[in-house]
Amino acid sequence: MSPTVLRVKGFRFYFFSREERRGHVHVQHAEGEAKFWIEPTVELAANFGLKPRQITEVQTLIEEHLNEIRAAWAKHFPGGSH
């Protein structure tokens, strides 16, 4: 299961149900995908095809919606991790 947390500017932000315990969010776009840590700070973990400009834009979007993303993580993974 990969619940979508947010859709903004052509980017889909989502979680994988069975992955690392450290808080993170995956981002999908027509041009590629990326993974960002959301704990303890927002940080790029992996990039698969997104341009540097898109990575900067995605990081800004994550920071703008960080409370919402972290709340969705806590709801999807009770206790803040899984």
- What is the residue extent of each domain of the chain? 4-76
Contact indicator for 59, 12 with CB cutoff of 8 Å:
no
Contact indicator for 12, 23 with CB cutoff of 8 Å:
no
SS3 call for 25:
strand
Taking each helix axis from N to C terminus, what angle separates 52-64 and 66-76, rounded to the nearest 10 degrees? 80
Q: Is the pTM of this model over 0.75?
A: yes
* Confidence class for position 79, pLDDT limits 50, 70, 90: low
1-50 confidence digits (pLDDT tens): 688 999 999 999 999 877 788 999 999 999 999 999 999 999 999 999 99
Residue 31, Cβ density class (10 Å: 0-12 exposed, 13-18 middle, ≥19 buried): exposed
